[in-house]
Amino acid sequence: MVFFVKDVSGKVHSKSTNLNPLDIDFIPSFSIMENRLQCSIHTSQQSLEFAFYLYLNDEKVRKIWYSKNTSAEFQIGETKLHKFEIKYFIRDMDSNINLRSIKYDKIEPEKNISKTNNQFSFFLSENKKIIYKKVNSDTPRLPKILENPEKKERFSNILNGKQFISQMKSHIVKGFELEPTGSYKSKYIIGYRLDLLCLLMSKYPSLNLPSRLELNKIIQQCGILVKALQNAESKGELCGDWALHNLIYSIDKNKIYNVDLEGFMTYDPLPKWANLEKIVSWINKLKHIYSNI
């Protein structure tokens, strides 16, 4: 008999023998604040010991050996992070050891000429499923906003999808593990960033990227997105930065998502230069370029 079990992170485990509870009840997490990297293990199992190894830029920096502590903190000083890996160990009373590893690489998204700076550094998980957006210490705008408890609660609700009720809600990516500074994690969307798609089609039409079928799907989803934003406007919910560089067409879901969650804090209410009329004009520009290929 084969057993299939999904853990709280959504990972599915299958085994043909009895499942060890630690196979599924073993959730590692981490956060980076200033010059400290904090990591922890979440489990409801009892009588366990925990250990942690940290690798910065492929070099093993430090290990914290087995103890009853489910969390550990590593000092990383002024180290420039290009990649990091944390190995989490659990040891039970019979000396059986379970290991999980989290590994992230720094990425540099393609710059948009209309965006002067970026308040985040971006790290992508090895399996390309999660993106970690770490607030840069030299851009304290979001941390300052989150000092207000009500605004911090609002941002938390934006991340978990509870803030909005209009059709716009389904076009906003969800985030999780919000940190006090405003850093957070979210699902990594594999697809096409609309501003880059617009640039490619206008400057390099002979590339024929993406396929005509995919382009038809994207243009169709643009229309669905506009209707959702109009619905949000009618309910008094429309906010956020809906510029094309924040919009990604998901190949997997056939849907356009806004990945700029912090924009729902800083663009509320919408400035005149980013109101619904402007958003529609940006999307229409993409449609116009497509119709002239």
Strands 247-250, 12-15: pairing kind = unpaired
Range scoring the smallest mean pLDDT among 19-33, 79-93, 213-227, 270-284 = 19-33
Q: In the prediction, which pLDDT does 8 show?
A: 46
Note whether 83 and 197 are same-domain residues: no
The answer to whether residue 129 is domain-embedded is no
| Across 27-47, average pLDDT | 93
d(CA 6, CA 14) in angstroms, rounded, equals 9
Average pLDDT over residues 96-102: 93
Question: For residue 126, is it within any domain?
Answer: no
Give the separation between CA 37 and CA 72, rounded to whole angstroms. Answer: 8
Query: Has residue 123 been placed in a domain?
Result: no
Domain span including residue 95: 3-104
Same domain, 50 and 157: no
In a domain, 85, yes or no: yes
DSSP for residue 124: E
Average pLDDT value for the chain: 89
Q: How far apart are the first and last CA of the chain?
A: 55
What does the alpha-carbon distance between residue 227 and residue 52 come to, in Å, rounded to a whole number?
Answer: 49
Whether 57 and 185 map to the same domain: the answer is no
Q: Is residue 66 part of a domain?
A: yes
- On whether both 244 and 168 belong to a single domain, the answer is yes
- Specify if 109 maps to a domain: no
Q: Note whether 174 and 49 are same-domain residues.
A: no
Q: Give the per-residue pLDDT at 32.
A: 94
Statement: residue 209 has pLDDT above 70? no
User: Which of residues 253 and 1 earns the better pLDDT score?
Assistant: 253
Same domain, 98 and 148: no
pTM greater than 0.95 (yes/no): no
CATH number (domain holding residue 68): 2.60.40.10
| Whether residue 284 has pLDDT greater than 70 | yes
The pLDDT of residue 25: 87
Under DSSP, is residue 125 helix (H, G, I), strand (E, B) or coil? strand
